[in-house]
Chains A and B, each alone.
Chain A
Amino acid sequence: MNSNTNAGASLSPDLTTHVGSLTLRNPVLTASGTFGYGLEYADLVDLSRLGGIIVKGTTLEPRQGNPYPRMAETAGGMLNCVGLQNKGVDHFCRHIYPEVRQLPTAVLVGVSGSTIEAYAECARRIGELADVPAIELNISCPNVKHGGMAFGVTADGAAAVVRAVRKVYPKTLIVKLSPNVTSIADIARAVEAEGADAVSLINTLMGMAIDAERRRPVLSIGTGGLSGPAVKPVALRMVWQVYEAVRVPVVGLGGIMTATDAVEFLLAGATAIEVGTANFVNPRASQEIADGIEAYLSRHGFASVSEIVGAAHSAG
Chain B
Amino acid sequence: MKKYQRELVVAAAEVLRADYTLLRLKAPAGPLPEMWPGQFVQVRADASPSTLLRRPISINFVDTAAGELWLLVHAVGSGTRALCALREGERVDVVLPLGTGFPLCSGGERVLLVGGGVGSAPLLYLGSRLAARGCDVTFLLGGRRAADVLQADCCKRYGRVCITTEDGSAGERGVVTDHSLWTEASFATVYTCGPRPMMRAVAARAAAMGARCYVSLENTMACGLGACLCCVQQTTEGHVCVCTDGPVFEADAEFSLRPLPSATDYSGTNL
Decide if B256 is an interface residue (CB 8 Å cutoff): no
Residues of A within 8 A of B50 (CB): 75
| CB pair A70 B232 closer than 8 Å | yes
Q: Which residue of B lies closest to A70 (CB)?
A: B230
Secondary structure of the A contact surface, majority rule: loop
B226: chain A residues at CB < 8 Å are 36, 40
Fill in one digit per residue for B221-238: 1 if any A CB lies within 8 Å of its CB, else 0. Answer: 111111111111110001
- Is the beta-carbon distance between A65 and B239 smaller than 8 angstroms? yes
Tell whether, in the assembled complex, residue A281 and residue B3 are in contact, meaning their CB atoms are under 8 Å apart.
no
What residues on A are CB-neighbors of B3 within 8 Å?
43-44
Residue in A35, A229, A283 whose beta carbon sits within 8 Å of that of B95 in the complex: A283
Q: Are B5 and A280 interface neighbours, CB within 8 A? A: no
A64 touches B231 (CB 8 A): no
Report Cα–Cα, A41/B234, bound state, in Å. Answer: 24
Given that A78-B52, A280-B53, A281-B54 are known contacts, is A71 also in contact with B230, CB under 8 Å in the complex?
Answer: yes
Q: Is A20 at the interface (CB under 8 A from chain B)?
A: no
In the docked arrangement, what's the CA distance between A73 and B50, Å? Answer: 9
Contact between A85 and B223, CB atoms less than 8 A apart: no
Nearest residue in A to B238 (C-beta to C-beta)? Answer: A64
Say yes or no: is B4 at the interface (Cβ < 8 Å to chain A). yes
Number of interface residues of B (CB under 8 A): 31
Q: Which chain B residues (14-56) contact chain A, with CB distance < 8 Å?
A: 44, 50-54
Question: Which residues of the partner chain A approach B264 to less than 8 Å between Cβ atoms?
Answer: none
**Residues on the B chain within 8 Å of A64, using CB:** 238-239
| CB atoms of A43 and B2 under 8 A apart | yes
Smallest CB–CB gap between A167 and chain B, Å?
31
Chain B residues with CB below 8 A from A279, complex form = 223, 227
- CA–CA, A261 to B128, complex, Å? 47
* A-side interface residues, number (CB < 8 Å): 34
State how many angstroms separate the Cβ of A287 from the closest Cβ of chain B: 11
> What is the minimal beta-carbon distance from B237 to any residue of chain A, in angstroms?
11
* Interchain CA distance A226-B125 in the complex, whole Å: 38
Given contacts A80-B222, A280-B222, contact A34 B52 (CB under 8 A): no
Asked if A71 contacts B228 (CB within 8 A), the reply is yes
Contact in complex: B227, A41 (CB < 8 Å): yes
- Residue pairs across A and B with Cβ atoms less than 8 A apart, 27 shown, are A33-B228, A34-B227, A36-B225, A36-B226, A44-B3, A56-B227, A64-B238, A68-B219, A68-B231, A68-B232, A68-B233, A69-B220, A70-B229, A70-B232, A71-B220, A71-B221, A71-B231, A75-B50, A76-B52, A78-B52, A80-B228, A82-B229, A82-B230, A279-B227, A280-B223, A282-B93, A283-B95
Q: A33-B228, A280-B223 are in contact. List 20 more A-B contacts (CB 8 A).
A: A36-B225, A40-B227, A41-B225, A43-B2, A68-B219, A70-B232, A71-B231, A73-B51, A73-B52, A78-B53, A78-B222, A80-B230, A82-B228, A228-B52, A279-B223, A281-B52, A282-B93, A283-B5, A283-B223, A284-B5
A-to-B contact residues, CB < 8 Å: 33-36, 40-41, 43-44, 56, 64-65, 67-73, 75-78, 80, 82, 85, 228-229, 277, 279-284
Q: Nearest 5 pairs between A and B by C-beta? A: A36-B227, A71-B230, A43-B3, A280-B222, A280-B223
